[in-house]
Each structure stands twice: as C-alpha cells, then as structure tokens.
Amino acid sequence: MVRDWSLPRVVLATLIGAVVVALVVAGSTSAASFGVFNTNWDGTSQVSAVAEETNTRTTVARSVSDYPAAPSNDTLAVVLSPDEPYGNEANTIRSYVRDGGTLLIAEDYGSGGNELLEAVGATARIDGRPLRDETRADPGPAFPEATVNSSHPTTTGVETLVLNHGSVVEPGNATVLANSSPFSYLDGNRNEALDESEVITSHPVVTTEQVGQGTVIVVSDPSIFLNAMLDRGDNRAFLKALVEDRAHVVLDVSHTTALPPLVAARLALQDSALGIVILGALSILAVLLATDSRRSLPWRSSPDSDPTSGVAMSHEEIVRAVRERHEEWTDERIARVTDSLIQADDNDRTDD
C-alpha cells in the first residue's frame, strides 16, 4: 500500500528522524578526554577497535569487580589517567596483578596513576613534569620522540613512539622499554623553554616490571593512545603489540568520566537477566500496539469489513461514529470529515 505523504508530513518526519538520530548519537558517544567511547581526536575509541582487529575479547569495566577473578599472563587491564583515587578498590587490582594478570597504567600529570602503582606494589612512578625536546620532536617540542627497545617481547616491531605533552617514568626496579632522545629535558617550571637549571638528557618513558606472578607496564603519557596520536611514529604498532597476543583486554573506566547514558544502559542490561526480559516484553508490546493502532479507530476498517462488527460500515454508520466522538461539531463539519474519511479509506483499498 502506497500512502500519499504531503510536504508538511515529510518535513515533520524528517525532523523527528533527525532528532532521534541526534539523541542516539549523543547518548552512545562521549566527549570526555581519553574516553573509550569518544570517537573524536582526544578519545581512545581506537583502543578497543585495534583489540577487536586482533580477535581479542574486550571488556569495558565499570567496576573493579569486572576484573577477571583468575587472570593469566594473556590478560591485559588498561588504566588511562584515572580521575579519581581507587582507595580500597585497588586491593582487587593488586590481587589481579599478583595472580598473573598484566596491568598497563598510562599517566602524565595526575596523582591517580602513582597511587594505583603504589597500591599494587610496583616500584615505578610517574615524574609529573612535562617532557620537551627541541631537536627530536614533531610537530613541536611538546611532542618528543622516544626510541623503543624493540628486542623486548612487549615492543616487538616498534621503534619510535611520539608523545603528546607527556612526562617521564622513574623506573625504580622496572625494566626500561623506551627512552626519550639525549636532547630532551624536563620543563620543571613549565615555561615551555630550556633554562640553565634544566638538564638535557635521555629519560625513560615506558617501563615493565614483574609484581608477584603478574606484570605492570607504565607509560608516562596516556596521549599516545589517543585516536589522533595512533598514526604518529609507531604508536599504533605499540598498541597492537600490547593487545594482539592477549586473550582478554579489560578497559578500566571505573574511575574516569561517566559513560554515555545509552552505553551505560546497554552494559547494565548485559549484566541483568531480568532487565533483558523486561526490555523484550516491552518491545513485543510496542510492536503489538503499533500493529493494532490503525484498526483501533471505529471508522477505519479492513479492506472489506469493520474489525468489530465483521461488516463494512455504511455512510450513516460513519456519521454516527463521528458524531458520538465529537458532539460539539456542526453537521457541516461532520459531513466534511465523513467524506474525507471515506475518500481516504477508498484510496487505501485501491492501493492495497
């Protein structure tokens, strides 16, 4: 059946469709920096995309309880610049690492990364001062290049990393996997210039350390995992090397900016069998109501008959039905509406 859509109806339908699409997009994406659902330049949505390319199972952890209870060395948990301290919840992550899991913490200036490193028993720490390089950086001194020890299994095939306003790692007992160039320095007073008190030398920017049966990897700049930074240097290759041999990657968002509402709802439904049943029942009810809505009007009949009486409605019956519903209408208006309904019904039968 082909319906005759007038221009106002087309415009209204288009506007409604645009609003629905906008609401869905807004509700399923995030604008938070380092957000795993942020598809903009400052998001990290490509982290899960790269993991999926390597057929690695990915979990977005809204709580530390989502960490696997029995991890192995092919499980990687990723924490990018947490906004809030973990407190007592860090004990769960400590157990995860000591039981054999691998934890990657990427931090630059915040305190959350160092607090978590201390809690899990790692000795490496983030310095927190900006790293700059006037010689080996692109596009400017705030984007220093780092040389990678590609002989280590974690960085196989990776030669150069490019940082974005990152810091450095104080390695402690950890093994250094990447160093900045000999021309880099720490901008202690943050004036974006090399002063006499600032020393030009190489600094560690990525380390790995065994803690219990597990491993803690520290990166002094979470920005290397940003969508816009993955195509600089070998940043994407580094990410791929981290995830491609893993059976499971956990993206920990439990202490970062809130998830988009539709994503939070979807993840909540995945965790709730009752929620799935309720959603399914509501969906079926909506379909039944939509299917029955056209037949619910007293003057709308199936192609040949009235759904309640089983016979076609006459002109007088339609007039009577309209009058019962709109007692305040004049006879002229009722006649005009009745003629319009009959004409529309005839058109529908012709289209059918």
Residue bearing tokens 């059918």: 352
134-160: burial string, b at 16+ Cβ within 10 Å, e else: eebbeeebbbbbbbbbbebebbeebeb
Task: Answer whether residue 108 shows pLDDT above 90.
Answer: yes
Q: Is 167 helix (H, G, I), strand (E, B) or coil?
A: coil
Q: Is the peptide bond before 139 cis (omega within 30 degrees of 0)?
A: yes
The total of other beta-carbon atoms located within 10 Å of residue 111's CB is: 12
Q: Is 32 helix (H, G, I), strand (E, B) or coil?
A: coil
The domain ranges of the chain are 30-259, 273-351
Q: Is 89 left (phi over 0), alpha (psi -120 to 50) or beta?
A: alpha
Select the more confidently predicted residue: 217 or 255.
217
For the chain, the distance separating the N- and C-terminal CA atoms, rounded to the nearest angstrom, is 5
Task: Answer whether residue 259 shows pLDDT above 60.
Answer: no
Residues forming beta bridges with residue 133, ordered by sequence position: 184
DSSP 33-85: TT-TT--STT--HHHHHHHHHTT-EEEEESSGGGS-SS--TTEEEEEES-SS-
State the pLDDT confidence band at 203, using cuts at 50, 70 and 90.
Answer: very high
Residue bearing tokens 């947490």: 82
* Backbone angles phi and psi of 12, in degrees to 5: -65, -45
Residues forming beta bridges with residue 144, ordered by sequence position: 137
For residue 219, give Cα distances in angstroms to 35, 148, 222, 227.
17, 12, 7, 17
Q: What is the DSSP letter of 87?
A: G
- The Cα–Cα gap between 233 and 9 comes to 52
% of the chain exceeding 90 in pLDDT: 48
Task: Answer whether residue 297 shows pLDDT above 50.
Answer: no
For residue 86, give Cα distances in angstroms to 118, 119, 181, 217.
11, 9, 34, 18
- The Cα–Cα gap between 138 and 333 comes to 76
- pLDDT of res. 262: 45
DSSP 284-311: HHHHHHHHHTGGGSTT---SSS-TTTSS
Helices (H), the chain: 7-28, 45-53, 90-98, 112-120, 235-243, 261-270, 273-292, 315-325, 331-351
- pLDDT of res. 339: 75
Q: CA 60, 62, 66, 67: dihedral to nearest 10 degrees? A: 70
Task: Give pLDDT tens digits for 124-153.
Answer: 999 999 999 999 998 999 999 999 987 888
> Regarding the domain delimited by 30-259, which CATH topology (the fold level of the hierarchy) does it fall under?
Rossmann fold (3.40.50)
- pLDDT of res. 321: 79
- pLDDT of res. 69: 84
- pLDDT of res. 16: 59
State the pLDDT confidence band at 264, using cuts at 50, 70 and 90.
Answer: very low
Residue bearing tokens 């379909």: 287
For residue 31, give Cα distances in angstroms to 48, 78, 156.
17, 19, 33
Task: Give pLDDT tens digits for 151-166.
Answer: 888 898 899 999 999 9
Q: Which amino acid is at 278?
A: I
- pLDDT of res. 71: 86
Task: Answer whether residue 295 shows pLDDT above 70.
Answer: no
State the pLDDT confidence band at 213, using cuts at 50, 70 and 90.
Answer: very high
